[in-house]
Structure 1
Amino acid sequence: MELLEDAQWNKRILSMGCERIDMFLQGGLHEGHLTELVGPSSSGKTQVCLRAASSVAKNYLDSVLFLDTCNSFSPKRIAQIVGQISDSDNKEVNKVIQRVMNSIVYHAVFDIYTLLNVLHRLEFNLRSQKGSQVRLLIVDSISSLISPILGGNGTNGASTCVHITAI
């Protein structure tokens, strides 16, 4: 019962910055939960990730960690999104864009070992309370890292997925 109460009262729901997606997700992304976006290539998964990063970075003082495996992160697109979701004049919008950009921590991650290294460093920093808190962690896209190690034997890839989600 204590865990249920904690989940209900102490976890935030993070808006994705898109009313329809938030409605579909019953309010937005649930803090502390894993949300997986699945779809064919060019279906907009990265755009949803960029929108979520922009919205969370704009609305919270904590940072967003964006791990990019496909070289798809676009600061220009983040600025466009922030401009769309801001209700201020141009001078204020530029300040908001600057704050959002400073809140998004970007890492290019092109192999599973680099991903694991970044996640282990993050875990260590969070446990030792070094630096700011991370409100949202985005890995875009984990499948491109795991596919090469799956090969013909799914057990290696499956155990790696279990290890990554356990971090």
Structure 2
Amino acid sequence: MLTKSCFDLWKEEKNQTGIVTFCKDLDQAIGNGISVGVITEFCGPPGSGKTQMCIQLAVNVQIPLQLGGLAGKAMFFDTNFGFSPGRLEEIAAACTHHCQRIVQIHRQDLAKSIGHFTDERILDGVYYKHINGCSEMLDALEALHELLKSGQKIKLIIIDSLSFLIRNNIENTLERIRIDHRILTKLHVLAHLYKCAVVITNDVTTRIDSNGTTNSIVIPAIGDSHSHKINQRIVLGQTSDEESSIFIASIEKSLMRPRTLVKFQITEAGIRRFRKK
């Protein structure tokens, strides 16, 4: 029966907890952090912070429910050996320290209930698999579906980078589109059925016009058809500021928010809000 109203959907969406990035400006710009149930894409050139953002989210998805987190696990699919366990541990240590400070200052009553939230527990809560080809990626998503069906509390699925996987394994443009749509369709199903967030990364390329001259427009690498299959796109890049730790996040596509641009920083502790000195 057709009984669910838009008011019901709105209440579900309003009450749904997202995954914070630890950049408050970015979290507010996209609503309430990275949303579950949809595909969010981080797009940008090398060195723009895409993998750093993915690692930060793999940590933050595990923040306890009592502190506004999802208390879930993360599945990290790596296609170009960009993942660093050492960096994960560094960001995890900073996150647990941050949460402990919040408890000490504001919620001492939670000290015992979040005692299990440790650096080691966070590292154990991130599953990792390197993916060599598109067929392996599709098989891995089928296996992940079985894990989720069995009750595994995976609340974040990361593919870093989807564009590297597709562009380096498939030459034919139509075949690229077909495989990309198959992968994204499977991700949509998992996100919807199990209320988990899906984060993918995409590179950028320069468009060449029909005359063979270079168009100055920098575009996402996978193409226009890919853009229709993702729900949210955030383009990352560095600023022209002298400090190399300052970055820009431009929300180019969102289900609820207008286009906007925010600054953030990448520090030893991970992703953080930009603060003027």
Please give the range of the TM-score, normalised by the shorter of the 2 chains. Answer: 0.7 to 0.9
Q: Which structure carries more strand by proportion?
A: 2
The 2-side partners of 1:69 and 1:63 are apart by 20
> Does the aligned pair in 2 maintain the 1:17–1:52 contact within 8 Å?
no
The 2-side partners of 1:97 and 1:148 are apart by 35
The 2-side partners of 1:93 and 1:47 are apart by 26
Correspondence for 2:213:
none
Which deviations, in whole Å up to 9, do the C-alpha atoms of 1:61-105 show, x marking residues without a partner? Answer: 32100101111111211121122232338xx99961111111111
TM-score by length of 1: 0.85
The 1-side partners of 2:41 and 2:181 are apart by 14
Q: Which structure carries more helix by proportion?
A: 1
> Does the aligned pair in 2 maintain the 1:56–1:64 contact within 8 Å?
yes
The 1-side partners of 2:164 and 2:176 are apart by 12
Correspondence for 1:61:
71
Q: Extract unaligned runs of 5+ from structure 1.
A: none
Correspondence for 2:19:
14
Q: Which has the higher contact order (CA 8 A, sep 6+)?
A: 2
Correspondence for 2:275:
none
Correspondence for 2:9:
4
TM-score by length of 2: 0.53
Which of the residues 82, 92, 103 maps onto 1:82?
92
Shift of 1:143: 0.6
Shift of 1:12: 2.7
State the identity %: 26
Structure 1 stretch displaced more, 17-26 or 27-36: 17-26
Q: How many residues align?
A: 162
Shift of 1:29: 0.5
The 1-side partners of 2:168 and 2:11 are apart by 39
Query: Secondary structure at 1:58's aligned position in 2?
Result: coil
Query: Secondary structure at 2:118's aligned position in 1?
Result: helix
> Does the aligned pair in 1 maintain the 2:74–2:157 contact within 8 Å?
yes
Structure 1 stretch displaced more, 7-16 or 98-107: 7-16
Give the partner amino acid of 1:46. T
Relative to structure 1, is the Cα distance of residues 125 and 79 closer, same or farther in structure 2, using a 3 angstrom cutoff? closer
Shift of 1:149: 4.2
Pairing 1:43-54 to 2, within 5 Å after superposition: 43-54=48-59
Check if 1:142 corresponds to 2:162.
yes
The 2-side partners of 1:109 and 1:121 are apart by 13
The 2-side partners of 1:50 and 1:150 are apart by 27
Query: Secondary structure at 1:105's aligned position in 2?
Result: strand
CA RMSD of aligned residues (A): 2.4
The 1-side partners of 2:22 and 2:75 are apart by 17
Check if 1:112 corresponds to 2:129.
no
Relative to structure 1, is the Cα distance of residues 149 and 83 closer, same or farther in structure 2, using a 3 angstrom cutoff? closer
Give the partner amino acid of 1:106. Y
Which deviations, in whole Å up to 9, do the C-alpha atoms of 1:35-69 show, x marking residues without a partner? Answer: 00000111111001111111112343321001011
Correspondence for 1:31:
36
Give the partner amino acid of 1:31. V
Check if 1:72 corresponds to 2:79.
no
